[in-house]
Amino acid sequence: MFKIMGHENVVVLDGGLPEWESLGGGLDTSEPSEIEPANYLATFDATRVIDKSLLLEGIHDGSVNVIDVRPSDRFNGVAAEPREGVRSGHMPDAVNLPFTQLLEAGKFKTQDVLKSLIEPSLNDDKRNVASCGSGVTACILALASEHALGKVVTVYDGSWTEWGGDHTLPIVSGK
């Protein structure tokens, strides 16, 4: 998400706060000091995020490759969506790579394993777009792809909540 706004020097603590604490990392629990207001100018990187209209256009003209990271039963439309009014299924021509396959015990799998899992889902001739239920877990694929393969995967932040909730958009349901 930071890279979408132009930040390049970004790192992620694999395993999050629990991993930090298990490694003996300390936590500062003191009151934060007063922060001086500053002028900040973000530099939006449009290659890292896509909206519904551009995604629909890309599906119609074949210029995007959608990787849906939701569980397979939701992708295939055999499980009901957790949000009321959202249809079950997936976008036309999307492939399924559940984000849970990229993780083990709350951490990313090894770089070699990530490569072997992600590479078959990518298409170097198209813009690769990650989608999920609400735009959050799609970021796991985007991060893993950049880490393991050095390849940017665009995030559709509206994801299935937006797409499946818009009854004018095409979906595929069933295997």
Selected catalytic residue, list 114, 132, 142, 148: 132
- φ/ψ of 167, rounded to 5, equals -70, 0
| 139 catalytic per annotation | no
Tokens of 76: 């295939």
What Rg do the C-alpha atoms of the chain give, in angstroms? Answer: 18
Q: Is residue 162 within 8 Å of residue 83, measured between CB atoms?
A: no
Q: Is residue 73 within 8 Å of residue 133, measured between CB atoms?
A: no
Q: What type of residue is 81?
A: E
- Compute the distance between CA of residue 22 and CA of residue 20 in angstroms, rounded to an integer: 6
The 3-state DSSP class for residue 103 equals strand
Burial of 153 (0-12, 13-18, 19+ CB in 10 A): buried
Q: Is residue 156 within 8 Å of residue 138, measured between CB atoms?
A: yes
The set of catalytic residues is 132
